[in-house]
Amino acid sequence: MSSLQQYGLLLALVVGTVGFILLIYAISRFFGKARQEPGKDVPATAGQLSRDPVWVRYHARYYGYALLFLAFDMEMAYMYPWAVVYKQVGIVALLDMGVFLAILFLGLLYGWSQGALRRQ
């Protein structure tokens, strides 16, 4: 398969996916007519009216948790493709992943030293 055919296939997949999404959206808009009711816009929790304001701000300490989550979430996103090509590439892939994990571990140690993992 030539590179032009591969790009054509990729373009067809993108167009097909976008077309499918638009078709599903149109079907849902056609069959699922939304009714405007006054109770739908009231903020409620478990059937009770909310005491707290709807737009609450989160404390800045959660920023560290979010960054650590993203770091380890991205680690898992890169682990699967690495595992797929590991047999083909060999020891170089193992060393590359070791460096990647070492950098993530250093980030974890830094977050730990700054108190990002301390329960508040």
**Per-residue confidence of the chain (120 residues) as pLDDT tens digits?**
899 999 999 999 999 999 999 999 999 988 887 777 776 667 666 666 667 666 777 777 777 778 788 878 888 888 888 888 888 888 888 898 899 889 888 888 887 887 777 776
The predicted pLDDT at position 54 comes to 62
Q: Is residue 55 part of a domain?
A: no
Q: Are residues 113 and 67 in the same domain?
A: yes
| Cross-strand pairs, 48 | 45
Pairwise CA distance, residues 110 & 103, whole Å: 11
Residue 51 resides in a domain: no
Residues 17 and 65 placed together within one structural domain of the fold = no
Structural domains of the chain, count:
2
Same domain (yes/no): 78, 29: no
Domain-embedded: residue 4: yes
Q: Is there a domain that residue 110 lies in?
A: yes
Residues 6+ apart with CB under 8 A from 108: 68, 71
For residue 24, what are the domain limits?
1-33
The answer to whether position 38 is within a domain reads no
Q: What is the pTM of this model?
A: 0.46
Q: Is residue 105 part of a domain?
A: yes
Q: What is the pLDDT of residue 17?
A: 98
Query: What is the DSSP secondary structure assignment for residue 32, as one 8-state letter?
Result: -
Q: Which residues, in sequence order, are CB contacts of 9 under 8 Å at separation 6+?
A: 1
In a domain, 41, yes or no: no
- Pair 62, 118: CB distance under 8 Å: no
